[in-house]
Structure formats: structure tokens, C-alpha cells
A and B are shown apart, each in its own frame.
Chain A
């Protein structure tokens, strides 16, 4: 997979192998897996009795809808690129306008993986003892983090 900045201030992703497509499709799968409701977990941090109920009723549904919209957006971008190659290429474009949507989706996936596998601060210290499933999850988490760093550096600007 090649990832490169564009002159418009975004990124271009060129998947090359079936594994590349698999890991890109795994972003939404990971974010939606493990039964973790990120909106509820974030919203649940507001516990003061004067505002907690309104927060649950008003803010949490908005958070949930926004997070789901972000995942749907990137899923559509990935599947559209896959279905309609141009001149033998299947680039996925991350424009400045949807950089945050991508960043958010990758964050949701990493949060879900962290919640499930609890990698902690130094997961590599125990790399030899990782089960295959856990090791694959760690590699995906590293890839998501690397892509987030690219987005932060090249596309997510104020």
C-alpha cells in the first residue's frame, strides 16, 4: 500500500494487495466490534446529577450518530474506490474536508481494539507471548495509528 500527500493538502491511498483492502475494510469492522458503545462510554463520563440525564438523552445520541456517519463515510469511500478502478488504479482520496472523518474512524477502531485487548503503553514488550489474534489486532492498531499520524501531518489543519 502506498500513502502519499496530495498538493491539495490531502492524502492518496493506493491499496495494492488483497491484504491492503482487508486492513482498510477492517477499520469499520474493528470500530463496530466488541460491543463497545463509544458514545455511551464518553457520555457516561458526565455524572453530575444536574446535567447527566440531559446528556444521556440529548448529547449521547448525537455522538452515536456522528460516529456512525463517520464510519459509513469511509466505508463508502473504500468500497467506491474498489468497485470503480480508473486506468487500473484504485486510489482512495482523503481530502482536507473529510480528513477528520477518517481520523475519527481510525480513532474509533483503535479505541475499540484497546478496550478489547488492553495493549497498554508498551505492547511490544510482550510481543513473544501474543496470541495470533492479539498480534493481528496489534498490527492493525499500529497501521491505524500510522495512518492517523499521516492525516495529522498532511491533512488535518486548522
Chain B
């Protein structure tokens, strides 16, 4: 029986960069059902999750609708602005 040793190495890549928050802000024009529709369309959220975020925007003035790497955050913010939602990008933490 050959004398063998199996070495398993696990490498984990952890980004050291802080994530970015995509934030939607309240405004006096956009209809509540439309905000829910846009969140479902862009992020693929189900109606319950999208409605909860929409209500947070309505009641608290803003909601963090997504967090993650900058490139994706920029894409989502651009899509939300295309849909005329007041959107900002902020570094998390």
C-alpha cells in the first residue's frame, strides 16, 4: 500500500472593500404601487419584500434596497434612476 498523504487546502477570498448601499428616497410623485413594481422588476424581489421596502421608503423617507459590490450597486442605481426613483449610493458601515 503506497504511503500517500492527501493535503487539502481551502482558500477563501474575502473582499476587504466595504459594501455599498443602494438607497431609495421618498418623493411626492412616485406612486406606491409603482415603487413596488420597480423593485420587483429590477431586483427580482417578491411582492412581499418589495412592498415592505416601499413602505419603509414611504414611512421613513428612505430604504436600503440592496447592498454589495460597487459595480453592481452602480448598475442597480442607474436602473432605478432610469425609472425615475430618487436613488443614492452610500458606502456601508
Q: A43–B34 Cα gap in the complex (Å)?
A: 20
Judge whether B30 and A66 touch: CB under 8 Å.
no
Residues of A in contact, count (CB < 8 Å): 28
Q: Are B37 and A156 in contact (CB under 8 A)?
A: yes
Interface residue count on the B side (C-beta < 8 Å): 25
Chain B binding site: helix, strand, loop or mixed by DSSP?
Answer: mixed
Do the beta carbons of A66 and B82 come within 8 Å of each other? Answer: yes
Q: Is A59 positioned at the interface, with any CB of B under 8 Å from its CB?
A: yes
Chain A residues 47 to 103 lying within 8 A of chain B, measured CB to CB, are: 47-48, 51, 59, 62-63, 66, 103
* Closest B residue by C-beta to A111: B29
Q: Is B14 an interface residue (CB 8 A)?
A: no
Quick check: A158 and B40 within 8 Å, CB to CB? Answer: yes
| Contact indicator B91/A108 (Cβ below 8 Å) | no
Closest to A108 in B: B84
Q: Check A42 against B89 for contact (C-beta < 8 Å).
A: no
In the complex, what residues of B have CB within 8 A of residue A139's CB?
A: none
Chain A to chain B: the 4 pairs with minimum beta-carbon distance, closest first: A42-B81, A110-B29, A45-B88, A107-B84
